[in-house]
Amino acid sequence: MTLFERSEAIFEDENVLHDDYQPESLEERDDEIEQYTAYLQPVINGSQPRNIFLYGKTGVGKTAATKYLLHHLEEDAKQYDDLSVTTVYLNCEDLTSSYRVAVALVNTLRDPSDQISRTGYPLNAVYEKLWTELDRIGGTILIVLDEVDYIGDDDSILYQLPRARSNEKIERARIGIIGISNDFKYREKLDPRVEDTLCERELHFPPYDANELQNILERRATLAFKDGILEEDVVPLCAAFAAQDKGSARQGLDLLLEAGDLARRRNDSIVTEDHVREAKQLLEKQRIEESMKELTSHGHLTLLAVVASTIAEPSEAPFQKQRLYEQYTDLAVATDRDPLGGRAFHNHLAELSMLGILDRTKRNEGRSGGIYYEYQVDVSIDGALSTLDNLHLSGSLNLDSLWETAEEQGLV
């Protein structure tokens, strides 16, 4: 019996919609590319490269632009005999200290048969190995540290690397660092000496608007789908949804892929607007479920408190903490838990906001009062409620009446 068979009716090449696909050209980023190119120009001139810091929200093309330009830089450098340009790309998501980054760099620069172990050396010994590798390669070496904020406070490497030549640790190589981050506060947290060096040149990538997203997605959709498979509104709708949310190209591409996948699973012959709407709900549910895994049951009840308040009085949203706290306390008691204190509850609200499940707005009480926050659900009520329903917070807590009221209110 054949379990798997190729299905080729919808996609020409679905890999084009995956995150690791490197597009041949970047749409809607002319200004940023021009500026970035100017920052990299010293490399082609054979001068000391600048350190560059790229920042902007997730999915706005920081990594894609970097890989695109560095590929061209390496290719174009080949026409000059006196130039040798090497680029190294590291994602720091798992590299939460200078030690780990240094080991990863040594291993990236070395032959796969000559790797060092990830533990067991003093930091200085790893740095020595790193200087040896860099000098062995020589020329201009550009080191991309994507998600550089993950390195955290233990960031001596960000100080050491750019100064390795002036501190006479290396002789034959010139090092440039390209740091990439979507944490807007990261810069402020840096030691001023590191900040001065790492952020020598800066480039901000703003979120895309719906028109820009539409152009980006159209180009990719043409390569990804068979001709005539997409209904006319599919790409504009994906672009509009992604623009409404974070302005992320990744989000738009994920929507397109999921919509196509839904059509394929159902053996539908074309991809329609309905597939996109359903894909949006599915992806949102997955995202909430993923985030929920990181929270305790009190975190879940905190979200339920905001959801229940919204369903009870949609026009009152956003809500102040006190109102939500009362609702949360009732829910904790109803599920046989001791309610947390106000401070801990506040932390859960903050965490849910950070995960993008709640939206937190800062308010100023005018002259007399202080600053306070208001919260509302930043995902669909449907998605939040069904995720909470699946968590079975407690046998005695039945969400049926919430579902009913939400339906009456037109919220689901």
Ligand X SMILES: Nc1ncnc2c1ncn2[C@@H]1O[C@H](COP(=O)(O)OP(=O)(O)OP(=O)(O)O)[C@@H](O)[C@H]1O
Q: What is the DSSP string of 153-194?
A: T--HHHHHHHHTTTTTS-SSEEEEEEEEES-TTHHHHS-HHH
Q: Which residues neighbour 49 within 8 Å (Cβ) at sequence distance 6 or greater? A: 40, 42, 43, 140, 142, 174, 175, 176
Rounded to a whole number of angstroms, the minimum distance from the CB of residue 147 to ligand X is 7
Residue nearer to ligand X on the CB measure, 93 or 171: 93
Q: Is 63 annotated as a binding residue?
A: yes
Residue nearer to ligand X on the CB measure, 10 or 26: 26
Question: From CA 99, how far away is CA 114, in angstroms rounded?
Answer: 18
8 A C-beta contact, residue 234 and residue 271 = yes
With CA atoms as reference, report the closest residue to 373 among 339, 322, 308. 322
320 HSE (CA, 13 A, CB side)? 7
Rounded to a whole number of angstroms, the minimum distance from the CB of residue 19 to ligand X is 5
Residue nearer to ligand X on the CB measure, 205 or 319: 205
Residue nearer to ligand X on the CB measure, 23 or 46: 23
Cα end-to-end distance, the chain, whole Å: 42
329 HSE (CA, 13 A, CB side)? 8
Rounded to a whole number of angstroms, the minimum distance from the CB of residue 395 to ligand X is 40
Identify the helix (H) or strand (E) that includes residue 91.
Answer: strand 85-91
Residue nearer to ligand X on the CB measure, 290 or 407: 290
Joined tokens for residue 102: 């240094």
Rounded to a whole number of angstroms, the minimum distance from the CB of residue 9 to ligand X is 24
Rounded to a whole number of angstroms, the minimum distance from the CB of residue 175 to ligand X is 22
Residue nearer to ligand X on the CB measure, 61 or 162: 61
Residue nearer to ligand X on the CB measure, 61 or 260: 61
| Centroid of chain to Cα 188 | 20
Rounded to a whole number of angstroms, the minimum distance from the CB of residue 65 to ligand X is 7
Question: From CA 327, how far away is CA 335, in angstroms rounded?
Answer: 13
8 A C-beta contact, residue 55 and residue 91 = no
The CB-based long-range contact list for 232-240 (8 Å cut-off, 24+ gap) reads 233/273, 234/259, 234/271, 234/272, 234/273, 234/275, 234/276, 236/210, 237/273, 237/276, 237/277, 238/213, 238/276, 239/210, 239/211, 239/213, 239/214, 240/210
Residue nearer to ligand X on the CB measure, 29 or 348: 29
Rounded to a whole number of angstroms, the minimum distance from the CB of residue 56 to ligand X is 6
Q: Is 208 annotated as a binding residue?
A: yes
Q: Is 260 annotated as a binding residue?
A: no
Q: Is 61 annotated as a binding residue?
A: yes
DSSP label at residue 371: E
Q: Is 361 annotated as a binding residue?
A: no
Joined tokens for residue 345: 């509850």
Q: Is 136 annotated as a binding residue?
A: no
Rounded to a whole number of angstroms, the minimum distance from the CB of residue 132 to ligand X is 31
8 A C-beta contact, residue 14 and residue 257 = yes
Q: Report the interface residues with ligand X, using CB under 6 A.
A: 19, 21, 23, 26-29, 56, 58-64, 182, 216, 249-250, 253
Instruction: Detail the residues annotated as belonging to a binding site for ATP.
Output: 60-64, 208, 220
Instruction: Detail the residues annotated as belonging to a binding site.
Output: 60-64, 208, 220
